[in-house]
Amino acid sequence: MPHTHPSGPDRRTILRGAAAASGVAVLGGALTVGGATSASAQAAPSFLYWRGAWNARPPSSPIQVLANRPSYIVVHHTATPNSTNYSLDHALALSRSIQNYHMDSNGWIDAGQQLTISRGGHVMEGRDRTPEAVGAGHHVVGTHVANNNSTCIGIENEGTYMTTGPTQALTNALVATLSWLCGAYGLNPQSAIRGHRDFNATACPGDVLYAMLPDLRNATASVLTAQGVDLHSLREPSGEGPTFPPVPEDEPQREFYHGPGRGPDDFTR
């Protein structure tokens, strides 16, 4: 897999990757990923590896599913090493490790995030029932952004992106995933795509990946437009927006920790 410049892909690279380098193309108004065409944005995409692929454990308690759609898509980094193992086996092992840590160390009922993307560009279901909920326009409540889990769906991106950017493969997969979620939920990418630090006091998703968000929003909008989606018809987040808290100087450095995932206002774990 190609590496990116330490500052991350530039805008032209991101936009090109959104429609070509990742295997994403638009054919007759339908999103095509890796050569397989989906008739609607709501359908689970062919690039998604469901929980059975990585031998997920069952949740320890029932998963909470809300009938309403989320208002935001939150981009995270895993705060783990920037692995150069881009294989599918590594990606599936990553998902198992995250779930084990979240359940065994944090005491959560399942993996906290709804989706995970490896540095090899493999996209995996995280919290149970996520693809079905997205397809129905519902929201699986996760544990990834404190006090805002009822309104946010989260994407974990493997790596640490404080001083370097993600691989092109991860970037392409992230744009494809953002496009799927915005299309399924009718979200305006310019207002719905946020970073973890927009909601909580954390360095997540890293300075470089956070700085890429404007271009990721534009790339997502380009994919939706190519699908024939009227961007003006997409909804804006309801209620109060992110509070943009400061990043703490003493951000903890431990495996899979990248800021507060659960707060007193969250009703699930």
What CATH number does residue 96 fall under?
Answer: 3.40.80.10
Q: Is residue 51 part of a domain?
A: no
Give the Cα separation of 196 and 25 in Å (integer).
Answer: 29
Confidence of residue 1 (pLDDT cuts 50, 70, 90): very low
Domain assignment of residue 95, yes or no: yes
Classify residue 241: in a domain, yes or no.
no
Does any domain span residue 44? no
For the chain, give the mean pLDDT: 82
The pLDDT value given to residue 246: 53
**Structure confidence at residue 200 as a pLDDT band (50, 70, 90):** confident
Q: pLDDT digit string (tens) for 100-118?
A: 999 998 889 999 999 999 9
- What is the total count of domains within the chain? 1
Q: Structure tokens of 107?
A: 């005491």
- 24 forms bridges with which residues in the sheet? 33
**2 falls within a domain:** no
Q: Does residue 81 fall inside a structural domain?
A: yes
Instruction: Quote the pLDDT of residue 29.
Output: 29
Residue 6 forms part of a structural domain: no
The residue ranges of DSSP E strands in the chain, in sequence order, are 24-27, 30-33, 36-37, 48-49, 65-66, 72-77, 115-117, 123-125, 139-140, 152-157, 193-195
In a domain, 91, yes or no: yes
Whether residue 194 has pLDDT greater than 90: yes
Task: Identify the bridge partners of residue 71 per DSSP, sorted by sequence position.
Answer: none
Residue-range definition of the domain harbouring residue 223: 11-32+63-228
pTM to 2 decimal places: 0.81
Q: Measuring CA to CA, which residue among 151, 157, 257 is closest to residue 198?
A: 151
At residue 40, the pLDDT reads 38
pLDDT in tens, 235-254: 888 766 666 555 455 544 44
